[in-house]
């Protein structure tokens, strides 16, 4: 049964220090929003699900919380969906969850990984065809933690109030402050200060999570039990193919090898065992390949030819093409070149997927086939689910992944790469109970797994705290949970993590 609650509230200001990240959003801007009321509307519904043989009765709450100045001036309405199991709520963990972009709603983790309902795909993660379907999520983590899915301002149904400039929320620091204020209000209003608290982010959401860990501790006095990082990017130097930044080329290589392995483009010896092959390539990347790139034009011709031969062996590309790239592959080039002989491209978010461009020329794909495969199912099912099952009504367009947040403000890191790894290190050092879980997909070309490894290997954690970081790998892509075997592995790994991180 639905309960509609309308309240006018004045809350604390969005304030406090922050110093902290990006991933390019895909998808065009959509129509301008309609005017929204200045009141909060919450819809509550009752549900149940069976997880591992145990019935969970839970309450779903969908609606908005208003962010305001201390004088009562309303600034923005932030949309969220919360799931709380109907027992002693104050003692259960609560996890605040979001995706990335910048410009993404929380739909992917909500209806793909963690929530009690998920979009039905085949076991490989491909859609079954419109009009699509929702099913109970056997891998939900609702049995481990209550869940709060947050849509940052201008994503989902979240909007700046009329006469307020939405750009004041569209930046690294601004985003951290507004999401932190939402978390503070929710924690206070729903009496969760005594609960174990977690953050879970994907992609740019991992950047947000690391920044929030520092801000929540330092500004709000809110110490966390754990952080879940899905397809992590904390140091943007590891994934930006700028002239003179050889690091990104080095760290991309193992993901190119994994992709070539998946599509059967490697020599038979390398096709036999993926993990053994990746061990070999990682060693090459950190030694011979890194040394060659560091030498630049001083690299002797014979050495250059040998590196090109090795790169061709590890990527399935031709020696001639490798030499044309000056030994430096990029995601854009690789996605177009690997399957060019079949007039196919491979996905950026998940390189298991292939697409068809208008022609086989050029150095980048026309569209990301891995995003195109999931965009329709998730958009349709989210819009259906909110009204039909959660009984929340709103005529605004639900912004799944929008370009309206750009240009994203990075004034805090002008002329340098954004790096929130240090913020995470500080948070874990000041709060030795804080644990971090990292999930990486081998076929993710957007946030390569080896770049994540590099970041955590350079985190600088004290040896006594290194066991607080757990890293797992999955034979899938950026959204590894769309691949059913990986989804089930992820759930099992998260169960161990939550048990270790929760008193």
279-288 pLDDT, tens digit each: 999 999 999 9
Are the beta carbons of 159 and 402 closer than 8 angstroms?
no
The arithmetic mean of pLDDT across residues 62-80, rounded, is 96
Taking 80 as the threshold, does the pLDDT of residue 5 lie above it?
no
Q: What is the pLDDT of residue 415?
A: 81
What's the pLDDT score for residue 40?
80
- Residue range 265-299, pLDDT digits in tens: 999 999 999 999 999 999 999 999 999 999 999 99
Pairing of strands 345-346, 354-355: antiparallel
3-state secondary structure of 425: helix
High-pLDDT (> 70) share of the chain, %: 92
- The per-residue pLDDT for 338 is 98
- Contact between residue 153 and residue 76 where contact means Cβ atoms under 8 Å apart: yes
For residue range 8-29, what is the model confidence (pLDDT) as tens digits?
332 232 233 333 333 333 333 3
| Confidence at residue 503, expressed as pLDDT on a 0 to 100 scale | 80
Span 217-236, average pLDDT: 97
- Domains of the chain by start residue, with CATH: 3-237+379-501 (3.40.50.1820), 265-367 (no CATH)
Comparing 141-150, 226-235, 408-417, the range with the smallest average pLDDT is 408-417
Specify the pLDDT at position 39. Answer: 62
- Please say if the pLDDT value at position 76 is more than 60: yes
Listed in sequence order, the residues at least 6 apart from 147 whose beta carbon sits closer than 8 Å to its beta carbon are 82, 83, 94, 95, 97, 114, 115, 141
Stated pTM of the model? 0.91
Q: Which range has the worst mean pLDDT, 12-16, 343-347, 494-498?
A: 12-16
Mean pLDDT of the chain: 92
State the residue for tokens 């700046």.
160
pLDDT exceeds cutoff 80 at 31: no
pLDDT (0 to 100) of residue 190: 96
Cβ(484)–Cβ(123) below 8 Å: yes
Tell whether the model's pLDDT for residue 165 goes beyond 50: yes
Nearest Cα neighbor of 473 from 454, 455, 490 is 490
Average pLDDT over residues 219-223: 96
Please determine, for residue 198, whether its predicted confidence score (pLDDT) is greater than 60: yes
**Which one is predicted more confidently, 128 or 99?**
99
pLDDT > 90: percent of the chain? 88
Q: Which of 172, 17, 7 is nearest to 74 (CA)?
A: 7
Contact indicator for 69, 75 with CB cutoff of 8 Å: yes
Q: pLDDT tens-digit profile of 101-128? A: 999 999 999 999 999 999 999 999 999 9
What's the pLDDT at 93? 97
Q: Is 333 helix (H, G, I), strand (E, B) or coil?
A: helix
> What number is the average pLDDT over the span 431-456?
98
pLDDT tens digits for range 349-388: 999 999 999 999 988 899 999 999 999 999 999 999 999 9
- Whole-angstrom distance, CA of residue 223 vs CA of residue 423: 14
Mean pLDDT confidence for 204-231: 97
Inter-axis angle of helices 274-284 and 301-315, to 10 degrees?
Answer: 160
Interatomic CA distance for residues 459 and 423, integer angstroms: 10
Closest CA to 146 of 200, 94, 109, 96: 94
Give CA separation, 261 vs 265, 283, 443, in Å: 6, 17, 10
Residue partners of 183: CB distance under 8 A and separation at least 6? 96, 150, 212, 216, 220, 222
Q: How many whole angstroms separate alpha carbon 395 and alpha carbon 289?
A: 54
- pLDDT given for residue 89 in this prediction: 76
């Amino acid at each position: 049964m639905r309960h509609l609650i309308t309240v006018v509230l004045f809350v604390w200001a969005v304030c406090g220090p922050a110093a902290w990240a990006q991933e390019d959003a895909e998808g065009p801007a959509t129509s301008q929003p309609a005017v929204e009321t200045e009141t909060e509307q919450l819809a509550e519904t009752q549900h149940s699900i069976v997880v591992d043989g145990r019935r969970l009765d839970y309450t779903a709450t969908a609606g908005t919380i208003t962010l305001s100045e201390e004088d009562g001036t309303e600034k923005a309405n932030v949309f969220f969906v919360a799931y709380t199991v109907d027992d002693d709520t104050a003692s259960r963990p609560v996890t605040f969850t979001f995706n990335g972009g910048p410009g993404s709603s929380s739909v992917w983790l909500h209806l793909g990984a963690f929530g009690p309902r998920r979009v039905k795909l085949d076991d490989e993660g491909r859609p079954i065809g419109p009009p699509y379907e929702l099913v109970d999520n056997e891998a939900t983590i609702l049995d481990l933690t209550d869940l709060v899915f947050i849509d940052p301002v201008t994503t989902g149904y979240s909007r700046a109030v009329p006469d307020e400039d939405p750009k004041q929320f569209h930046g690294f620091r601004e985003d951290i402050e507004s999401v932190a204020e939402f978390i503070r209000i929710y924690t206070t209003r729903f009496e969760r200060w005594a609960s174990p608290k977690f953050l879970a982010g994907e992609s740019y959401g991992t950047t947000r999570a690391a920044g929030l860990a520092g801000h929540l501790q330092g500004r709000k006095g809110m110490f966390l039990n754990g952080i879940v990082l899905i397809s992590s990017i904390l140091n943007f130097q590891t994934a930006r193919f700028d002239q003179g930044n050889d690091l990104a080329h080095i760290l991309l290589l193992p993901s190119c090898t994994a992709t070539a392995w998946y599509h059967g483009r490697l020599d038979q010896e390398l096709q036999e065992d993926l993990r053994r092959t990746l061990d070999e390539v990682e060693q090459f990347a950190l030694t011979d390949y890194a040394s060659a790139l560091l030498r630049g034009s001083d690299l002797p011709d014979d050495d250059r030819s040998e590196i090109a031969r090795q790169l061709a062996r590890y990527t399935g590309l031709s020696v001639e093409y490798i030499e044309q790239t000056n030994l430096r592959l990029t995601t854009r080039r690789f996605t177009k070149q690997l399957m060019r002989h079949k007039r196919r491209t491979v996905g950026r978010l998940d390189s298991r997927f292939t697409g068809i461009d208008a022609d086989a020329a050029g150095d980048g794909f026309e569209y990301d086939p891995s995003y195109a495969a999931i965009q329709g199912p998730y958009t349709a099912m989210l819009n259906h689910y909110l009204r039909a099952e959660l009984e929340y009504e709103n005529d605004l367009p639900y912004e799944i992944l929008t370009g309206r947040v750009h240009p994203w403000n990075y004034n805090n890191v002008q002329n340098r790469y954004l790096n929130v790894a240090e913020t995470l290190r500080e948070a874990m050092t000041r709060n030795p109970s804080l644990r971090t879980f990292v999930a990486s997909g081998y076929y993710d070309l957007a946030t390569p797994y080896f770049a994540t490894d590099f970041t955590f290997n350079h985190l600088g954690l004290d040896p006594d705290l290194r066991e607080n970081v757990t890293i797992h790998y999955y034979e899938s892509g950026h959204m590894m949970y769309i691949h059913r075997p990986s989804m089930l592995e992820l759930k099992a790994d998260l169960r161990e993590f939550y048990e270790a991180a929760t008193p």
